[in-house]
Structure 1
Amino acid sequence: MITIRYATADDVPALAEIGLRAWEQAATGVADLDALRGIAREAFLQFLAAKWVTVIVAERGGVIAGWAAREKMDEEITDLWVDPALQRQGVGAALLVALEDAMRRSGIEAADLQTHARNAPALAFFRKQGYAVNWLSVTYSPKLDRDVESVGLRRQLVEDRPVGYGPGGF
C-alpha cells in the first residue's frame, strides 16, 4: 500500500538520495554522470533543505519510495522522483494524484511540468496520466556544454464550462 504524507526536515537526506538515483537514471546518455553527480547531490540537498515544506512523500511499506514538489505552490510541478527500484509500482501515479488534488483544492485549473526531451520513460508516464505536450524548447546548458531539448507538458485539471446564455450555453 502506498501512503502519501508531507515531508519533514528529517526526510531531507533520504529524499536527496532518491532524487539522485532517479536523476542518474533519467540523465543517462544526456549528461556525464560522473562529472555531475556531486553537483546534482548538492543541488538536491540544497533544494530540499530550503523547500521541504513544498514536498510530499510516498511511502510503501513504511519506506520512502519517492517524492514530488510544487516549489512555488502554483500550477507547476517542479519535481517528481521515484526510487528506480520502486518505479512502475504506482508510486509516481499516487504522488501525481495527490499533487493534482491539492492543486484543484487551491483553485488551479491546469498542471504544468517539464522534462528533457530524451526522457522517454517520463514522457510515457506523464502521457499515460493525461498530460500532453504543450511546448518544446532548446536551451544551451553551460554545465553540459551543449544544447538541451526540453518538453513542457500540461494537463487540464478542471473541465472548461460552456460560456453563453441560458442553461448549457449555446
Structure 2
Amino acid sequence: MPMITIRNARRDEAELLAAIGFRAWEKAMIPVGETKAMVEGARSAFLNFTRSGWLTISVIELNGQPAGWAAREELDENITDFWIDPDFQGQGLGAALLEEIEKEVLHQGFTKASLQTHAKNDEAVRFFEKHGYAVHWLTIAYNPKLDRDVQSVGLSKQLAAPVAPAYGQEF
C-alpha cells in the first residue's frame, strides 16, 4: 500500500523541489508554447524561489520520495504554487496535497482559498474545479517572452462561511 506523507520543505532540498516544479511547469506550458528564454527563466525562478521561500512550501511524498509541492508565499489564502511531478500525476497526490493546504488556510483564519493559472492549462483548471474551485476572473496580459497575449484565470473556493463582524464592529 502506498504511503503518502505531507511535510514542510527543508532548506537542503531546494534543487530537488525546483526540478519537480520545473517539470510540472514545462508540461503545463505545452499548450501555451514556450521559448528557450522562458525555459531558462523558469528554471532559474524555480531555483530562486525554492532556495528563498522554502519555509512557505509543503512537500508531498510517496513512499518517502518527494513527488510534488505547494506554496503560499505570503502564508495567506493565496496558493501561489502547486506542482505535482508529471511522473506522479493521476495517483491522488494532488488531491491529498490540496486538502492539506486548505486545512492550513482554514487553521490560519482564512475562509477561502484562491489561485491562478494560465487559461489554457485545462488539466489544472479541471483538477481545481473537480475539487470545488470556481473560475472568478479571466485576464489577458501581454507576455514579452512569448511576444503575444496570454490569458490567466483566477479560481477560488469557499472553505468556511465568512465570519460576520459582531454588532458595532467595523468591517
Matched, 1:80 2:82: yes
> In structure 2, what is the Cα distance between the partners aligned to 1:11 and 1:138?
35
Normalised by the size of structure 2, how large is the TM-score?
0.91
Contact 2:37 2:145 (8 Å CA) reproduced: no
Match of 1:9 in 2: 11
- Give the Cα–Cα distance (whole angstroms) in 1 for the partners of residues 36 and 62 of structure 2: 30
Whichever residue aligns with residue 92 of structure 2, its letter is: G
Among the aligned pairs, what percent are the same residue?
A: 52
Q: Tell me whether 1:141 sits opposite 2:143 in the alignment.
A: yes
Q: Which moved more, 1:143-152 or 1:63-72?
A: 143-152
Deviation at residue 159 of structure 1 after TM alignment: 2.8
Note the residue ranges of structure 1 that are not aligned, 5 or more in a row: 164-170
Contact 1:15–1:66 (8 Å) recurs in 2: yes
Question: Partner of 2:70 in structure 1?
Answer: 68
Instruction: Give the 3-state SS of the residue equivalent to 2:98 in structure 1.
Output: helix
Counterpart code for 1:89: Q
Letter in 2 for 1:52: W
Aligned partner letter, 2:73 = E
**Structure 1 stretches of at least 4 aligned residues deviating more than 3 Å after TM superposition:** 160-163
Structure 1 residue 36: Cα displacement: 2.1
* Alignment RMSD (CA, Å): 1.5
Question: What is the TM-score when the length of structure 1 is the normalising length?
Answer: 0.91
Counterparts of 1:90-169 in structure 2, within 5 Å, are 90-160=92-162
Answer yes or no: is the 8 Å Cα contact 1:68–1:79 preserved in 2.
yes
CA drift of 1:60 comes to 0.1
The 2-side partners of 1:33 and 1:76 are apart by: 28
Q: Post-superposition shift, 1:143?
A: 1.8
Whether the 8 Å contact between 1:7 and 1:52 is mirrored in structure 2 is yes
Contact kept? 1:27, 1:33, Cα under 8 Å: no
Runs of 5+ in structure 2 lacking a partner? 166-171
Deviations 1:21-52 (A, max 9, x none): 00110000313254422211100000111100
Q: Provide the C-alpha distance between the structure 2 equivalents of 1:162 and 1:4, rounded to a whole number of angstroms.
A: 33
Shift of 1:141: 1.1
Deviation per CA, 1:98-142, whole angstroms, max 9, x where unpaired?
111011011100001000000010011000110001111101111
